[in-house]
Amino acid sequence: MEYAQLEQLCSSVRDVVKQVGLDIAISRKRIDEIVIEKKGVRDFVTEVDRHAEQALVKQLQNLLPEAGFVTEEKTIAQSDKPYNWIIDPLDGTMNFVHGIPAYSVSIGLEFQHEIILGVVYEIVHDEMFYSWKNAPSFCNNKIIHISDCKLLQDALIATGFPYIRNEERTTKISATLKYFLDNGRDIRRIGTAATDLCYVACGRMDVYYEGFLNIWDIAGGIIIVKNAGGFVSDFSGNNNFTKGEIVACSPVIKDVVLKGVALMP
Domain harbouring 78, CATH code: 3.30.540.10
124 and 157 housed in the same domain: no
187 and 101 housed in the same domain: no
Q: Examine the fold and report which residue of 124, 144, 164 is the final residue of a domain before the chain moves on.
A: 144
Q: Examine the fold and report which residue of 92, 111, 144 is the final residue of a domain before the chain moves on.
A: 144
CA distance linking residue 116 with residue 3, whole number of Å: 10
Say which residue, 172 or 237, is predicted with more confidence: 237
129 and 209 housed in the same domain: no
Q: Looking at residues 48-60, what average pLDDT do you find? A: 93
23 and 131 housed in the same domain: yes
The DSSP-derived string for 122-172 is ETTTTEEEEEETTS-EEETTEEE-------GGG-EEEE---SS--HHHHHH
75 and 120 housed in the same domain: yes
pLDDT of amino acid 221 = 98
173 and 140 housed in the same domain: no
Q: Which helix (H) or strand (E) holds 250?
A: none
Domain count within the chain:
2
Cβ-contact 69, 84 below 8 angstroms: yes
SS3 for 108? strand
Domain range for 164:
152-261
Phi, psi of 156 (to 5 degrees): -90, 125
Strand ranges in the chain using DSSP code E only, listed in sequence order: 36-38, 44-46, 68-71, 83-91, 104-111, 114-122, 127-132, 137-139, 142-144, 156-159, 186-188, 207-210, 231-233, 246-249
132 and 10 housed in the same domain: yes
CA distance linking residue 220 with residue 216, whole number of Å: 8
Dump pLDDT digits (tens) for 96-112: 989 999 999 999 999 99
Q: Looking at residues 38-62, what average pLDDT do you find? A: 81
pLDDT of amino acid 1 = 84
132 and 199 housed in the same domain: no
Nearest to 12 by CA among 134, 107, 139, 110: 107
